[in-house]
Amino acid sequence: MKFIQFTLVFATLLLSIGCGPDTKEKSDSNIQVSDDGKTVITKADPNAPDFVPSNLPLPDACTLVTAADVAKIMNVDAGDIEIKDGSGRSSAHSRACFFKWIGERPNAGILVQVQKNPVGDEFPGWATSFVESKRSMGESDFTGSGENVKYKKLEGLGDDASYSYEMGKYIWRTGNDYVYMVAFNEEMTAPQQLKAAKDFASIIMSNVD
């Protein structure tokens, strides 16, 4: 897995999430009409169990862990870690942060990401589906062989979690509000990577409580 390629793929996904049609409001603030004339209901029933407020705040991924945290968990020098916001221009529904250093792989580092529902009331259960689909449908390995990789279920992380050692990704959700991810680009054994992911997840969740 090459970190640069992964970065480019990730940036492309961010752009695609943020490129929805512009809308024009009608007199009813709960209804919008897109440029092609289609009416879109923009407000769901707030009493529904899976209702996700459209104004849900999105945490800054670069504040969820620190360079000191990364240094301790990844056994690197804090002074060698470069922190870079990887959110790109389209950050309304996704924020990301790269922590990079000189390691055993080129562009060694980790990526921390937090997402919220990009389609809102059109699909209130997006977060649930997103995490589960990594196990049932898998994900194409754009940075390696191109094969479809199915994730495994990970217990004890958020309300549901999926992970893949091969992809170096650990993804979990809290309700249908947020989806978090830690992705690794460094030489690690499966047990080392899993432990590091759980350590990062614990820190992330403590910083959003």
Q: What is the number of residues in the chain?
A: 209
pLDDT of residue 29: 39
Degrees, nearest 5: CA angle 83-86-88: 145
CB 63 within 8 A of CB 207: yes
- Using the Cα atoms of residue 157, residue 132, residue 1 and residue 82 in order, give the sign of their dihedral: negative
φ, ψ at 206 (rounded to 5°): -70, -25
Give dist(CA 182, CA 66) in Å, integer: 14
pLDDT digit string, tens, across residues 79-96: 999 999 988 765 689 999
Helix segments in 18-169, DSSP class H: 67-74, 126-136
pLDDT digit string, tens, across residues 64-84: 999 999 999 999 999 999 999
- Decide if pLDDT at 17 tops 70: no
DSSP 8: H
Of 5-9, 14-18, 66-70, 103-107, highest mean pLDDT? 66-70
pLDDT digit string, tens, across residues 145-189: 779 999 999 999 999 999 999 999 999 999 999 999 999 999 999
Query: What is the CB neighbour count within 10 angstroms for residue 75?
Result: 11
CB 24 within 8 A of CB 33: yes
The answer to whether the predicted template modeling score (pTM) of the entire model surpasses 0.95 is no
CB 175 within 8 A of CB 49: no
Between 7 and 186, the higher pLDDT residue: 186
pLDDT digit string, tens, across residues 103-156: 888 889 999 999 999 887 788 899 999 999 999 999 998 776 779 999 999 999
